[in-house]
Structure 1
Amino acid sequence: MLSLNVTEICKIRQIERPYTFLVKAGISPHTANDIVNGYSRAIRLDHIEKLCEILHCEPNDLLAFKPSANVKITDNHPLNKLIPKQSEFDWQQTLKTLPLEQLKEVADFINKPKENKED
């Protein structure tokens, strides 16, 4: 079953109140509630576009796939790419505990112009 992955994206983006964030971005309160609580069974394309815009992501980032027990798909099926990977890595905690010199290196890497990153 496909579902929206908005709550997880909000966690990654450090958005503490996803519902409020979505409403302030122009999504109706009813739709925002459905999105945040996983009640959406259908979503309009303009909402997908708005979510991608405000969360700085692609449509595939918004979708998560959980295979149904009664439906089998092959291991090489494209939907498998949408199965969320469980990650125990807490990058925020890691950044908080990095030595200052390493933190400066991370900042330098992030701030490098794009053309230099490809070298």
Structure 2
Amino acid sequence: MLYFDITRVLNQKGILNHSIFLQQLGFKDYVIKRMMRINPTRIDINLLGALCNALNCTPNDLFSVKTSAAASLPPNHVLKTLVREKQTAPISLKLVKLPLEKLAQVQELVDKLTEEGK
């Protein structure tokens, strides 16, 4: 039902080489391998905190609920908010395809959103 979905977050953040990014944060290879499994059975709270800090996200962002499992939950159950839409290509791959004038618009929007987030 509930699973650790770090690959989705890394892709959304435009991080294409997950292992190198996590190594740069100081995670050991065995921890990275365990973390990248489909559904690790335990997550260290310090690891979770370090990931949230590095990725500027919340613990909820790092977890998802399978659509099939959510179907058995009551209609207004809070875990239904963790059902994620189908993952698309990382934004960095989409940006490469944009013409330069569109990239300027994207940059303006990102700058505006960054200012709002401070």
TM-score normalised according to structure 1 size: 0.76
> How many residues get paired?
115
Q: What is the aligned partner in structure 2 of residue 63 from structure 1?
A: 63
Identity %: 28
Q: Using the alignment, how far apart are the partners of 1:100 and 1:68 within structure 2?
A: 41
Q: What is the aligned partner in structure 1 of residue 85 from structure 2?
A: 85
Q: Using the alignment, how far apart are the partners of 1:41 and 1:86 within structure 2?
A: 23
Aligned with 1:46: secondary structure? helix
Deviations 1:77-112 (A, max 9, x none): 100111111144764454334443333222122223
Q: Using the alignment, how far apart are the partners of 2:99 and 2:45 within structure 1?
A: 44
Q: Mapping of 1:30-41 within 5 angstroms?
A: 30-41=30-41
What amino acid does structure 2 have at the position aligned with 1:114?
Answer: E
Q: Mapping of 1:4-15 within 5 angstroms?
A: 4-15=4-15
TM-score normalised according to structure 2 size: 0.76
What amino acid does structure 2 have at the position aligned with 1:49?
Answer: G
Q: What is the aligned partner in structure 2 of residue 114 from structure 1?
A: 115
Q: Which has the higher contact order (CA 8 A, sep 6+)?
A: 2
**Greater CA drift, 98-107 or 59-68:** 98-107
Gapped runs of 5+ residues in structure 2? none
The answer as to 2:28 corresponding to 1:28 is yes
Structure (1 or 2) with the larger CA radius of gyration: 1
Indicate how the Cα distance of structure 1 residues 58 and 34 shifts in structure 2: closer, same or farther if over 3 A, else same.
same
